[in-house]
Amino acid sequence: MNKSIILDTNLTVLLVVGLVELSQVGAHKRTKSYDQTDFKILEEIISNAKNLIFTPNVLTEASNLLRQTHDSLARKLSNFLAKVLAAQSVEISIASEMGFARKEYERLGLTDSVLLHLSNTNGGAVVVTADLDLYLACCSDGLEVINFTHIRASRTDFVS
């Protein structure tokens, strides 16, 4: 792919949990709807990316969601997010007012509205999301987007 990838919050959580402790994918409160194959698919999608782009909004939400587990795992996940993922990716701050100003804000909320703004202003970046509403908004804006749920549904062993 060799393009930058913008991950949504839920896929960021899946990525961190899978990279830190693969056995927790499907067990962690926020990755219960995923399995280890889903993590491997996500890992494959991002493996050829130029880089991963995050916003403070996504990192904040992911940090909060990752901590919804027992203390020792929460510490591991938080440390990984802070030390490894953040250090090996690009963080771009978008003023909240830019998200608030988007027509999608009322429907999508601030984080996804900021992702839309970022993807519109960062030409060539691909949004990877499991959120149908964000996917549809990206399509409506003519952005390059990958719907992770569609990929999962195409698995022969997929059970919703």
pLDDT, one tens digit per residue, over 54-88 is 999 999 999 999 999 999 999 999 999 998 777 77
Which of 133, 129, 127, 134 shows the shortest CA–CA distance to 149?
A: 129
101-137 pLDDT, tens digit per residue, is 999 999 999 999 999 999 988 777 999 999 999 999 9
Q: Hey, which CATH number is domain 5-153, 3.40.50.1010, 3.30.450.40, 3.90.1490.10, 3.30.43.10? A: 3.40.50.1010
Global pTM?
0.94
Residues contacting 147, CB < 8 A, separation 6+? 129, 130, 132, 135
Tokens 């991950």 sit at which residue? 7
Name which of 2, 123, 6, 131 is nearest 59 in CA terms: 6
